[in-house]
Amino acid sequence: MTSALNSHDGVEAAAVVAAGPEGNTQSPLVVGPRPVVGRLPKYAAGKPPAPVEGLESFKLSSNENPLPPLPAVLEAIAAETAINRYPDPVASSLRARLADFLGVPAEDIVTGGGSLGALNQLLAAFAGQQDDGVQDEVVYAWRSFEAYPISVGLAGAKSVQVPVKDDGRHDLEAMAAALTDRTRVVLLCTPNNPTGPILRTKETEAFIESVPEDVVIVIDEAYQEFVRDPEAVDGLRMYRKYPNVVVLRTFSKAHGLAGLRVGYSISRPEITQHLRVAAVPFAVSSVAERAAIASLDHYGEVVERVQSLVDERDRVTQGLRELGWSVPEAQGNFVWLKLGEATPAFAAEAAARALSVRAFGTEGVRVSIGEVEANSRFLELCRTFTKAPIAS
């Protein structure tokens, strides 16, 4: 059997040519996706580093926690043996533990396959194409999390991207101006991935109060545990104060459970009742649920590990500024270098030093905080690289 690529209504589709019993070929079978699929960007996961002789390789391209899960978490994973059974479809034990940990009703929590899975459930429920064929609109800053336009497009809605400011911050005034009567969801990413700055409480409240009450406002806090700015907005406080606010969080970053895919949303019952309809059944496995609970039960150790990464983040940002490099405020577990046309060259130099970083076209490079040796090697690369980032 051989395969080729054909075009169907402007969308690339696979054409499969099957050989018959006499060696004859049948007519090509052309299978095409919905037209929107051909217009969407493809998600580019961080690549592993290429091996370089004489150097230990480090992956700094995926905002992963470089530290392994806690010993108690690994024990909990090993103890889960009933994987021949379906998990609890609503992750009742995890939601109960989170409710106690966060001080919110368990009914306000809806789990998903990572915070992205929780977001996809929300978009499926609240943004898409109406019965009259008109697309809903989803407003978000750009550049921000690269899965946003994919998720919005697959939901059937229209992306309204509002450029971030030169310093990588959300332009909330411009986002408010971008709202229309078709806006159904607004996404706020804080700290913003990949640029790094947080949203502050005062500006966020003013923005929320400018948004119609029937528009869902999502505060994506995937990196919340790494934030140290006292003025940073607290998503939970906003959810308690404003009925149309939804908070997204995850166990992928601070807890080091990215491979198990555990995330959740927090919102009022008026919203969760619809999210449960759109939720993917069994999205959180029994292994993942048990691991997440164990991590919460040993949260003091999680905090210690996160602080070690925050200390490294601060060392890296201070080192970059001492080199004269302009970098935005970094409140996640990564730094952003606005390198412009020098972006590919920097990524190539990093690869030559056995470091993988996340390059975004000719916009810039996001570098995750990794092992101490990896961070030091990154700083040495920046010391010798001749084209510093574009000043904010």
What CATH number has the domain bearing residue 351? 3.90.1150.10
Query: Are both 126 and 250 inside the same structural domain?
Result: yes
Please, which pLDDT band fits residue 224 given cuts at 50, 70 and 90?
very high
Q: Determine, yes or no, domain membership for 128.
A: yes
Query: Are both 110 and 158 inside the same structural domain?
Result: yes
d(CA 233, CA 170): 13
Partnered with residue 355 across adjacent β-strands are: 58
Query: Are both 340 and 215 inside the same structural domain?
Result: no
Query: Are both 7 and 62 inside the same structural domain?
Result: no
Q: Considering the entire predicted model, what is its pTM?
A: 0.90
Cis-peptide, bond into residue 89, ω within 30° of zero: no
Mapped to the 3 state alphabet, what secondary structure does 197-208 carry? CCCEHHHHHHHH
Q: Determine, yes or no, domain membership for 105.
A: yes
Query: Are both 100 and 200 inside the same structural domain?
Result: yes
Query: Are both 81 and 229 inside the same structural domain?
Result: yes
Into how many domains does the chain fold? 3
Partnered with residue 5 across adjacent β-strands are: 14
Q: Determine, yes or no, domain membership for 186.
A: yes
Supply the range of the domain harboring residue 364: 58-67+300-384
Contact 118, 110 (CB under 8 A): yes
Looking at 32-190, which runs of residues are DSSP E strands?
58-59, 109-112, 137-142, 158-163, 183-189
CATH number of the domain enclosing 258:
3.40.640.10
pLDDT tens digits along 336-369 = 999 999 999 999 999 999 999 999 999 999 999 9
d(CA 159, CA 147): 12
Q: Determine, yes or no, domain membership for 42.
A: no
Query: Are both 292 and 304 inside the same structural domain?
Result: no
pLDDT tens digits along 101-140 = 999 999 999 999 999 999 999 999 999 999 999 999 999 9
Q: Determine, yes or no, domain membership for 116.
A: yes
pLDDT over 50 (residue 226): yes
Query: Are both 269 and 348 inside the same structural domain?
Result: no
Count of residues in the chain: 392
306: Cα separation from own chain's centroid: 18
Of residues 70 and 1, which shows the higher confidence score? 70
pLDDT tens digits along 239-281 = 999 999 999 999 999 999 999 999 999 999 999 999 999 999 9
Across the range 78-91, mean pLDDT stands at 96
Query: Are both 289 and 205 inside the same structural domain?
Result: yes
How high is the pLDDT of residue 42? 80
Contact 155, 34 (CB under 8 A): no
How high is the pLDDT of residue 9? 43
Domain boundary among the residues 233, 268, 297 is at 297
Q: Determine, yes or no, domain membership for 310.
A: yes
Of residues 385 and 27, which shows the higher confidence score? 385
203: Cα separation from own chain's centroid: 23
Q: Determine, yes or no, domain membership for 166.
A: yes
Please, which pLDDT band fits residue 295 given cuts at 50, 70 and 90?
very high
Q: Give how far Cα 129 sits from Cα of 47, 151, 155, 196, 275, Å.
A: 34, 14, 8, 32, 17
- Sheet holding 158-163: strands in order across? 109-112, 263-266, 245-250, 216-220, 183-189, 137-142, 158-163
Domain boundary among the residues 247, 271, 297 is at 297
Domain boundary among the residues 244, 277, 297 is at 297
| Per-position DSSP letters for 200-249, written without gaps between them | BHHHHHHHHHHS-TTSEEEEE-TTGGG---TTB--HHHHHHH-TTEEEEE
Closest CA to 69 of 273, 267, 252, 335: 252
pLDDT over 80 (residue 8): no
Q: Determine, yes or no, domain membership for 50.
A: no
Query: Are both 281 and 309 inside the same structural domain?
Result: no
d(CA 333, CA 223): 7
Query: Are both 132 and 271 inside the same structural domain?
Result: yes
Across the range 303-312, mean pLDDT stands at 98
Helical pair 299-322 and 286-297, crossing angle rounded to 10 deg: 80
Query: Are both 236 and 110 inside the same structural domain?
Result: yes
Task: Quickly count: other Cβ atoms within 10 Å of residue 174's Cβ.
Answer: 14
